Structure 1
């Protein structure tokens, strides 16, 4: 449904009879009630958003040909859709994750199908088995080591805080600052002691809190068992699923080329960045392990994850990795960490990025930095991860809209000359 024109809305209000105006006002009230029930659900046990939306739709049905009524229905439908997605997010997350995984793996299945004449269901099954096998291997081999290093790092951080507390109690520098009235030693030591005690109490219950946040064990097992099945069918029927999803988007000049173009940009970016991040994390972790740097696996994992954030991510990974090496190893370990990450960045910029990310994002570096800051401000770490592909999609949509507007202006100019 295309949004109603502003002039049509104004004319619909001027030309509508009294009873239609009353119905439109009632629809507007229902839209406000929908917003209220979405914002304060605890105050309306009966007036839930679906009930309000249905009542508003029935109220506006007699005047559904009116442009203002269509605008109210469209606004209410968008709000109800957002509410439904938010309420069913825990159910949608596995499906969205599987579709994203199928989106990244589709070129492999397509190549096996077209180049080697492998039936699509066979190639989908093979790819699904390989992905599940890699996931289980990572869980069995890597996850225990990560958990052990996280636990050891947490306890060493608490030990360092206790050492800092003892230093504060005996340091002559702190005594001079206290004598000058800059700080209060007793207050500082008491607050630091309370913080250490709180963190010590939290450590044993960290695993239980994680399990409680993801739900019951049976529910987790059920979801994990369903993911391979969903992935197989999504890969097998990916072209039809993709076409159905593309058909949901509005057209620009009668076409949906901008969706295909944006999908290609995002797909290339995610595939390439995933491969580069994996290579970066493995290289850094292996090199640090060979040099005997403590927490080598955590630093490698940190570098791999932060590598998803272009330009800013490697800098943050270098700073955090250097701090971990300096605090829990020594200055030599910190130098080794910085040297290894710098060497990895040199390899990435000179070899990996030109070979793997052979596409052109078409985004200016200043726009990329602005997108990172803006998305990070509104959405945190998740915003940093999606900033570049989301900006690419928005830029592609804007270009499609601009081309459609140019065509409409040209047609309007030709009509005026006639």
Structure 2
């Protein structure tokens, strides 16, 4: 075979060789570049969504703070919904979850504030049903009747007591409030003359600490302003509830709500308990806190009713002016431990001193002191036969904090709410850990 002739094997191998496309040589690099570009696009898209969510969060805060116009379309609820739709695909990120959680919490608080007029009657009725539930249970077990029957009886008793209060006590309270306002306004000039003749103010003015006439004028204006508010307090309360039709509708619905709440109280209570988080998979802390609050409120209400009756009757027998107002004030402020009795004593003594005499002021102080001793020695040990488990300093601190945040309502709920918080803290204490080592310097 001539040397120049190709062999069959070599010809086949030469035919099988296919030249490579230059673009194929760089295909791994192109794939990596495309993947990197896609990743950048995805990151940029997520960044735009997060930025839009932050903007909507700020807009929602602005809408919450600024009163909406009459024909405005935007509202915090709509802005919050748009934020949820925008951020929901990125809910796997911790920052996005934190933004959704904080926005949802603020939106929930804003909604509760807006519907507070609707929620307050339901909350008050539930509290009343909570206090009356043991009576319903006792009647049901004793007479072996369906639960709806004792619920109807208890609801009828509550409505009857309320109607009697409106027909009998409310006119007397209004008359005494009006008379007290007139008497206070009538004594303003006498008080001014007494202050002008006082040597104490002269001595303070001579020392350069105050201006006598300016102090007298400010004190006189303050007394007139406060006295003028007294007879209109009930009218302002009714006006705050809304229109007359709204008040009538509310009064008509309360008995119905109370009946159904008492009738289905176990189911309602179970549903509310399920809304709270668990500690170690259990909710025993809610049972303990509920027991504390229930006994506290039942006992305090019973003691307040006894205090109102005792103080009012004794002051009426001693012919003390405005005996009913002082008695009601003693019963209401009795719900505020440690501070309420002191406030009642000071206010009652001032009313008796200004509008009566020294003798009447001493009688008021003696009656209130006797009632306080009766509560501490007889009523509280026998009616509130338990320990809330709070130190006196913690009670005073809770009263100041809740009073500052919520006013008079905060003073009324300070002790039970503090007991609930402490009970919940004790339940979660073993579950809570704080490890700061992971936040150390790298």
Whether the TM-score (by the shorter chain) exceeds 0.5 is: yes
1:347-376 Cα offsets, whole Å, 9 max, x none, are 111111111111221111111111111212
In the other structure, the counterpart of 2:61 is: 35
Question: How far is 1:80 from its partner?
Answer: 1.0
Please say if 1:26 is aligned against 2:49: no
Q: Structure 1 residues 199, 368: CA separation in 2 closer, same or farther (over 3 Å shift)?
A: closer
SS at match of 2:359: helix
CA distance in 2, matches of 1:175, 1:359: 50
Check whether the contact 1:41–1:48 (CA below 8 A) recurs between aligned residues: no
Q: TM-score, normalised by structure 2?
A: 0.82
Please say if 1:86 is aligned against 2:113: yes
Q: Structure 1 residues 93, 175: CA separation in 2 closer, same or farther (over 3 Å shift)?
A: closer
In the other structure, the counterpart of 1:77 is: 104
Q: Structure 1 residues 204, 39: CA separation in 2 closer, same or farther (over 3 Å shift)?
A: same
Question: How far is 1:345 from its partner?
Answer: 1.2
In the TM superposition, 1:83-232 aligns within 5 A as 83-167=110-194, 171=197, 173=199, 180=206, 187=214, 209-232=236-259
SS at match of 1:334: helix
Please say if 1:301 is aligned against 2:301: no
In the other structure, the counterpart of 1:414 is: none
Unaligned runs of 5+ in 1: 1-15, 410-418
Check whether the contact 1:24–1:68 (CA below 8 A) recurs between aligned residues: no
Question: How far is 1:78 from its partner?
Answer: 1.1
In the other structure, the counterpart of 1:356 is: 383
Please say if 1:325 is aligned against 2:325: no
Check whether the contact 1:64–1:70 (CA below 8 A) recurs between aligned residues: yes
Q: TM-score, normalised by structure 1?
A: 0.86
SS at match of 1:392: helix
1:4-45 Cα offsets, whole Å, 9 max, x none, are xxxxxxxxxxxx944334323332332222222111234793
CA distance in 2, matches of 1:269, 1:310: 11
Greater C-alpha radius of gyration: 2
The structure where helix makes up a greater share of residues is 1
CA distance in 1, matches of 2:76, 2:161: 43
1:62-116 Cα offsets, whole Å, 9 max, x none, are 1223333222222111111111110111111111111111111111111112233
CA distance in 2, matches of 1:175, 1:79: 52
